[in-house]
A = this chain, B = another copy of it.
Amino acid sequence: MKRTCYIGELNEADLGRSVTLQGWVNRRRDLGGLIFLELRDRSGVVQVEVEPDSPAFAAADPLRAEYVVEVEGRFQARPEGQRKGGLADYEVIASRVEVLNAAKTPPFELDKGDAVAEDIRLKYRYLDLRRGEMQRGLLLRSKAVAAVTAFLDAAGFVQVETPMLTKSTPEGARDFLVPSRLNPGEFYALPQSPQLFKQLLMIAGFDRYYQLARCFRDEDLRADRQPDFTQLDMEMSFVTQEDVLEVQEQLLAHVFREVLGVALPLPFPRLSYRDAMDRYGSDKPDLRFDSAFVDVTDLFRGGEFAAFAGAETVKVLAAPELTRKQIDELERVARQHGARGLAWLRRDGEGFTGGISKFVGAQTAALLERTGVEPGGTLLFAAGEWKKAVTALGAVRLALRDLFALAAAGPQFHVSWVLDFPQLEFDEDSGSWTYMHHPFTAPHPDDVGLFGTERQGEMRAQAYDLVLNGFEIGGGSIRIHDPAVQARMFQAIGFSEAEAQAKFGFFLDALAYGTPPHGGIAWGFDRLVMVMAGAASIREVIAFPKNNRGADLMAEAPSPVEPAQLAEAGVGVLPQD
């Protein structure tokens, strides 16, 4: 017997008809001799009523939560007084119930899944995934995959699978290793990203490439990381940065339209890295709300307030009225992010009280005017070395967002580009210059001349990040295709030719055989879907995630293996300290 449709597809047109539905008993109640079932499939829940004289009654009687059933019956509207809108306005009067499978009592009530310890949810993931919230997240993810595929295919992108068993490289994060039985003593590495392979595909002439790529990094797992994750990886030949950004905007707009019915305004606003940091203290600013910093360095320079007088930067952020406790909490945030404290002022009429008010006299009028702080409102200051100061105040800005739901008043989704990242960073630890993203990122054409000069720290890269609601959901760059520029880049980061060859060997060889200008981007697909679904963690949009010890609690992986398996793989377990 085939079902008429998914439960969620039932509608007015089905009223009075006999329907056949299949799914799980979400709940069973007995009332006045009748059995009421909530029948659930992936699309929705509908009430099924089994009357005592129904031929279905005998089959329905033993039903319990999570039994699998097929129900046939008349689809009808519920009595007027009981309507609440949606599927709850309808019910099915069962004429036939067939038990397709029984079920043990679940270890937790699915309806209360949110409140269940995550370890239990992960151990019984197949039950956790029955919850509507989890199903919606994964269905949304699937729709996003289909939308991405359709768009990129139509736009001439070629889907290519890159190797999963590849070479370990000393660069970047730690590799997961895979012993090779056929080549004893040798190891594959699982790919951290298809970066080199996608560039090789451009060298091979594929022109436009994409892949939903599984990537692996053996890092210590922070709260919201997974040892393996999914990247939407793309690369294009014969393009400028502008070409890449344009295609990306069309693609993301397509995905939001197809999956959520949301029209993203195009083009996305653009900020330079410098401006993003300077105004919001983040290279992935949440721009659903503004609350930009105001620069007041000049007001205090050389003045009597010693803490600000000599600071490279003094920034101020206008906040609503804050309690002393809230200010203390924000100060803790500032300290966690590198500030030595959090100076503050409360506006009182046309002046300020509290905090550093005794040091602020001459600056009062200018502070009022530049910040527009409201009466009773608070000004929060960060001062010191520019990057440290803005970073700390950026963290305070996000804490204020969470405290006052500042983002709620803005658009549901805000997408922007952050551009003009630095080409080079000075690494304090090693006392040398290094690349910010990877050593194949092309510098801005106007800045190439700065290589090797004292101003090479000012060089801008042709690199770009895609930012959604304060999350970096994509990052990429135009790559170097000119061997002369590549040589200057290696020089700038202190790689000799021999070192470069040792680290990037075959890839540098490939670059010499006719490399087109090219660039690309990769999206953090798990994170994008998380934000689109309004989920709190990427684990909510991954079917079978690992916990923060890298363990799959359901499948019980990792696990010890048979000595014979290890012997075949040619490895042994080292004794633990």
Contacts and interface: CB of A to CB of B under 8 A. Distances in A.
Interface in A183-235: 183-190, 196-197, 200-201, 203-207, 214, 216, 218, 220-221, 227-228, 230
Interface residues of A, number: 126
Contacts of A207: 6, 41-42
Interface in A551-567: 551-552, 554-562, 565-567
A166 B576 CA distance: 23
A146 B205 CA distance: 20
Nearest to A482: B101
A509 to B, nearest CB: 9
Nearest to A515: B101
Given A158-B139, A512-B103, A571 B127 contact: no
A205 B506 contact: no
A160 B138 contact: yes
A413 to B, nearest CB: 22
Contacts of A482: 101
B206 A558 contact: no
A167 to B, nearest CB: 4
Q: Tell me how many chains of this kind the complex includes.
A: 2
B561 A130 contact: no
B510 A126 contact: yes
A576 B569 CA distance: 11
A562 B174 CA distance: 12
A49 interface: no
Interface stretch (A247-255, A451-459, A541-549): A541-549
A106 interface: yes
A42 B544 CA distance: 39
A389 B197 CA distance: 48
A112 interface: no
A207 B201 CA distance: 37
**Nearest 9 Cβ contacts at the A-B interface:** A103-B514, A129-B204, A146-B153, A186-B558, A167-B557, A180-B558, A66-B514, A142-B159, A149-B149
Given A163-B228, A164-B190, A168-B565, 8 more contacts: A42-B205, A101-B481, A124-B513, A146-B149, A164-B164, A168-B559, A185-B576, A572-B574
